[in-house]
Amino acid sequence: MADALKLPFAGEEIVRRVSAGNSDPDWLLADRLAGLAAYTELPIETNPLFTLYVDLRAARWAELDPYLETGDAAYVSEVVPEGAAALIEIAEDRVVARGLSAEAREAGVVLDTFANVMRDRPQLVKGLVDGAAHLPDSDKFAQFARSHYALGLLIHVPRNVVLERPIVVRWSAGRPGRALVSRSVIHIGENAHARILEEQVPSEAHDAASEAQSMWWGTSEVSLDQGAQLSFAGQQDFGAHTLVFINRHATLGQDAQLRWALASVGGELHKSRIDNRLVGRGSGVNQAEIVFGDGRQLADLTSYTRHIGHDTTGDLLSKGVFIDRARGYFKGMITIDRSAKGTDSFLGEFAMLLTKQARSVTIPSLEIDQPDVRRASHSSSVGPIDEDEIFYLMSRGIPRDVARKFIVMGFLEPVVARIPLAPAQDRLRARLEEKWPQAQASTQKAA
C-alpha cells in the first residue's frame, strides 16, 4: 500500500506543460524537475512509524483533471475587505481579487502569483522559491506540489513592517472533476509582524448535488527571519467531495514566533502535514488544530516539530470531534536535537467520539537527544462527553442536547477564538454548529 500512489496526472510531460503555462524561467523548471525526481523516488510515507496509517482509498484519481494553466481572471477586484490589510482570492484556477490597503502597499508588502511578481522582482521569487528549502524533502506530497503546481502564491512582508490587520487569502474550489495544485510561499522579514487568514471554501462551480470529486492541493512554505512574528489562521471548509492535501512548513529564525490556528471542517479526505523547524535561539511555535469530521470524512493530520536551536518552545495542540463514520489520524512527532538545550515542548492530541462508528488514532511520538530540557512531554486523551459536565449544565436548566452541543463547541473554541477576523470567526462557529444537528441525529440513532 505504501507505494500505491500512482497519480495519473503526474509526470514529466505535465510538469513541462504547467511550467510553460506559467512562463517559468529556466531555474524554476529545473527546480520542478528536481521535485519530480524526488516525488518519483519517494514512498507515500517515509516514516515507518506512520506507514500503517495512510489511507487514500477514498480518492478516485482517474476522475480528476488538474488545471494546467492559471492566471488572472478577466476582471480582478481590488477591493480590500474591512478590517483586512490585503486580500487575494483565487476561484478555481483564476485570481479574481487582489488588493492591498494603502498601509500594506506603502510598507512594500507583496501578495501575488509567482508569475506576476516575477515580472518586477525576479530575484525576490528566486531567493524564496529556488531549492524549495521550505518544503520537506522526504515528503512525496510536498514534492508533488513543488513539481506540479499550476499556481504559485507569494506573500512577502518586508523587515520591520508591523501589520495589525490580517492578510486574507481565499481559495475557492470544487468544480466537479477539477483539481488545483498550488504553492504558497510566505516570507516575514526581520522583526516584521503579520497575520494571515487562509480561507478555503466551495467555489461557485461547486455542485453539492454532484458525487464527482474535486481536489485542492497546496502548501504554506513559511520562513520567519530573526524576530519575525506570524499568526496564521487556516479554515478549510471545502465541499463534501473535495480532496484536500496540504503541506505546511515553517523555518524560524532567532526569537521568531509562529502561531498556527487551523480548522478543518470540510472535504472528503483531508491530509495535511505540518513541519515546524525551530532553528533560531529563542524561537517558538504555538499550534492549535481542530477537526470536526462527519459522514465518512477522514482527517489525516501529521505534525513534526524539530527543536534545533537553544531555548526554543513548542506548544502543540490537536483536537478532533468525530461523528458518523468519520475518522481522525493524529500523527505527531517532536524531535529534540542534541543542539537544542533548554527546550520546552508539549504535544497534546485529544479526541471526542460522538458515535459508535467513529474512530480516532493518535500517535504522539517523541524523539529526544538532549535531556537538558525545560519540558518535553505529551498528552493524549479520547473520551465521550463528560456526563458530569452535562449534568452540571442541565442543573442550570439547559436541555441535554444543548448541553452536549455547548461542551463540544467549548472543546473546539480555543482554535475558533484565534481566527483573526470576527466575521470569519463567526462563520467557523456557524459551520461547526451546522454539523451539530447531524451529530445529534447520529447519536440518537446509535442510542
**Among the candidate windows 116-124, 197-205, 227-235, 363-371, which touches another protein by CB under 8 A?**
363-371
400 near another protein, judged by CB under 8 A: no
160 near another protein, judged by CB under 8 A: no
410 near another protein, judged by CB under 8 A: no
376 near another protein, judged by CB under 8 A: yes
> Is 25 or 43 the residue whose CB approaches another protein more closely?
43
370 near another protein, judged by CB under 8 A: yes
> Is 95 or 323 the residue whose CB approaches another protein more closely?
323
**Separation CA 205–CA 172 (nearest Å):** 9
**Separation CA 99–CA 94 (nearest Å):** 15
Residue labelled with grid coordinates 529526544: 368
Identify the bridge partners of residue 113 per DSSP, sorted by sequence position: 153
Residue 263 and residue 416 in contact, taking contact as beta carbons nearer than 8 Å: yes
Query: For another protein, which residue of 369, 426, 433, 434 counts as binding (CB under 8 A)?
Result: 369
Size of the site for another protein (CB under 8 A): 36
Minimum distance, C-beta of residue 48 to another protein, in the bound complex (Å): 4
Query: For another protein, which residue of 138, 160, 381, 444 counts as binding (CB under 8 A)?
Result: 381
Per-residue x/- track, 32-61, another protein (CB under 8 A): ----------------xx------------
399 near another protein, judged by CB under 8 A: no
> Is 245 or 322 the residue whose CB approaches another protein more closely?
322
Minimum distance, C-beta of residue 146 to another protein, in the bound complex (Å): 27
**Among the candidate windows 69-77, 184-192, 274-282, 380-388, which touches another protein by CB under 8 A?**
380-388
**Separation CA 318–CA 342 (nearest Å):** 24
Residues comprising the chain, all counted: 447
**Among the candidate windows 205-213, 226-234, 287-295, 356-364, which touches another protein by CB under 8 A?**
356-364
Query: For another protein, which residue of 91, 298, 358, 415 counts as binding (CB under 8 A)?
Result: 358
> Is 100 or 347 the residue whose CB approaches another protein more closely?
347
- The amino acid at 71: G
Per-residue x/- track, 299-338, another protein (CB under 8 A): ---------------------------------------x
How many CB atoms within 10 Å of residue 338?
A: 11
> Is 119 or 400 the residue whose CB approaches another protein more closely?
400
**Separation CA 23–CA 118 (nearest Å):** 10
**Among the candidate windows 102-110, 151-159, 177-185, 382-390, which touches another protein by CB under 8 A?**
382-390
> Is 216 or 329 the residue whose CB approaches another protein more closely?
329
> Is 50 or 260 the residue whose CB approaches another protein more closely?
50
3 near another protein, judged by CB under 8 A: no
How many CB atoms within 10 Å of residue 378?
A: 16
Q: Which residues bind another protein (CB under 8 A)?
A: 48-49, 338, 351, 353-373, 375-384, 446
